[in-house]
Chains A and B, each alone.
Chain A
Amino acid sequence: MALDEPIVYVVDDDAAARAAIQSLLHSVGLHAEAFGSPQEFLARPRPDAPACLVLDVRLPGVSGLDFQRDLAASDVTIPIIFITGHGDIPMSVEAMKAGAMEFLTKPFRGQVLLDAIHKAIERDRATRQEQAKVAQLRQRLATLTPREREVMQLVISGLLNKQIAAQLGTGERTVKIHRGQVMRKMKADSLPDLVRMAGKLGIPSRE
């Protein structure tokens, strides 16, 4: 299996439903893994690949919505496509609010499910790329010295080198050198680029 090949996880207590969905996904060349319960799904180690979860709302033991909450609480960001026996509006509203991708009412056409799966995988792929990017920025940030970090915070707040020097009690030239180091270590092309990076990293600007 290629590292980037998407995986579709299916959690449904009905064996017939699992078999049907799995066959459909295989027929269009998607890799699918099916489970009878959320516990089985959690017990399986998941490779680092774009994925989505097709989840029956009503499950033995725990409801699909509770499971969705549990996943969110443990920082699992996998997109969820809910399938349900009857379109329960309050339930679907709750699921969508909690970040569900789609809420399909049985019986639905295979294409509807496939479209939802493709959309979900694309979103997961984007999320993963975004997460990877942030992780990279974090690594870069970690290489900055404390003084460089201080200078970076003041730079993104829009202060001029002179003002920064005055605030830090150093010379303007020293600030200029620190600033150059920050731009180089963070691999920022311009000031706006650096500001965007700081936003992603959640660094607040200083007034």
Chain B
Amino acid sequence: MHRHSYPLNAALRSTLSGNILAFACVAAALLVTKLLNSVFPTPLFFAAIVVSTWFGGTASGLLAVALAALVLDYYFVPPFHSFALRAGALPYLIQFAVPALLTCWIVKKRKDAEASLRQARDGLEGKVRESTAELRQANRQLKAEIADRIRAEEIVQRTQADLAHVTRVTTLGELAASIAHEVNQPLMAVVINGDACLQWLAREQPDLQEAREAVGRIIAEGNRAGEIIRRIRALFKNSPLQKAAVGINELIRDILAITQREIIRNGVTITTELETALPPVFGDRVQLQQVILNLVVNAIEAMSGITGPRELQIRSQCDGDNGVLITVRDSGPGFTQPERIFGAFFTTKPDGLGMGLSISRTIIEAHGGKLWATNAGDGAVFQFRLPIYRGSA
């Protein structure tokens, strides 16, 4: 209740003070005019009307006009000290009243214009302040986002490098048994040759020739074991990119040597068609080895479930100015989602990471080449092209 009555009181108070203002102004104008005994009394009353309208509003202004007209009629229009009007005095009063009303109206308009201007200015300032604050906020957010993105990119890069290493290690982990066999093979030959050598020497008439041959074989097998270990180490190393002229045929042979046991175990027949005059490519030996290893292991695994012949074809050829073209073709079931196989975490293997092909493509593209896959009716074909090495770049 109290809250509702409050604006009414305020309105009443403002009307009241407007009226008082009008009375006061007109009274003051009368007093001054009387004191100065002015010949022209109207200007001061105009001033009273202006002040009343400006500070008291339209109602106060109109009251001031009415009061001023009455005062002029009473004091300054004959008959003096009387409200009675003579015909001759009417034009004088009209001459006063019309400009007075106009003045009242103009002052009111001016006052309104000024008020709305102030309001507009205040609003504008507020808006500017608001949008400045918003901009500042947006700026802060953007900076934070940029920092986040840089951090995320660093993480992605690091993760990708880690994953590349993991895949390399996992792929090799799957081949660990095969590698163990690979190393065991020369080791067994060393031991057996050693025993044979002792036997030749232990004969009643030691056969030095046979013993010498056995020792020769021991040395050869020791070197073979060393070579296998060197190749494996090169694959396991997580070293930064080292680009140099690389012979693709040699890489293919290395990978086939490493995967030989796996190939035999899976009953896969290998056909290689390596162009003898193949120019070297410019790239990182270990990374390119990883790509070929991935493709070969994928092919072997793709064929593990089929009953027909398991054939793996590897081909290298010079593709004119386009570079060197390498083709890995299997006789497996092919793939059903050609657009997805290069995506990260896409895998058809129960324990696959799904990073092999994704990383392979990244590696080939980082070498300025291209890796793609097609279904060939009776299997999958993976191909990649690498630019030819043209002197040290």
Q: Which A residues form the contact surface with B (CB < 8 A)? A: 13-14, 16-17, 19-21, 23-24, 26-28, 58-61, 63, 83, 85-86, 106-111, 113
Contact = CB atoms under 8 A, between A and B. Distances in A.
A19 B181 contact: no
16 contacts: A14-B185, A16-B186, A17-B192, A20-B217, A24-B193, A24-B195, A27-B199, A59-B264, A60-B264, A61-B267, A83-B188, A85-B181, A106-B185, A107-B191, A110-B191, A110-B198
B221 interface: yes
- Which among A13, A16, A59, A111 has the greatest number of chain B C-beta atoms within 10 A? A16
A61 B188 CA distance: 22
Given A58-B264, A59-B264, A85-B184, A108 B191 contact: yes
B196 interface: yes
Interface string B271-283: 0000000000000
Contacts of A17: 185, 188-189, 192
B193 A23 contact: yes
A113 B199 contact: no
Given A58-B261, A61-B267, A110-B199, A23 B214 contact: yes
A60 B199 CA distance: 31
A81 to B, nearest CB: 13
A108 B195 CA distance: 10
A27 B194 CA distance: 12
Nearest to A23: B196
Contacts of B221: 16, 20
- Which among A13, A19, A21, A61 has the greatest number of chain B C-beta atoms within 10 A? A19
Nearest to B200: A27
B255 to A, nearest CB: 18
Interface string B186-230: 111111111110111001000100100110010011001000000
- Which among A14, A17, A26, A27 has the greatest number of chain B C-beta atoms within 10 A? A27
B224 A23 contact: no
Nearest to B180: A86
Contacts of B185: 14, 16-17, 85, 106
A21 B181 contact: no
A17 B264 CA distance: 17
Contacts of B267: 61
A17 to B, nearest CB: 5
B256 to A, nearest CB: 13
A109 B195 contact: yes
Contacts of A26: 196, 210
Contacts of B187: 106-107
B184 A106 contact: yes
Contacts of B189: 14, 16-17, 19-20
B191 A16 contact: no
Given A24-B193, A63-B265, A108-B188, 10 more contacts: A13-B264, A14-B185, A17-B185, A19-B189, A24-B196, A26-B210, A106-B184, A107-B188, A107-B192, A109-B195
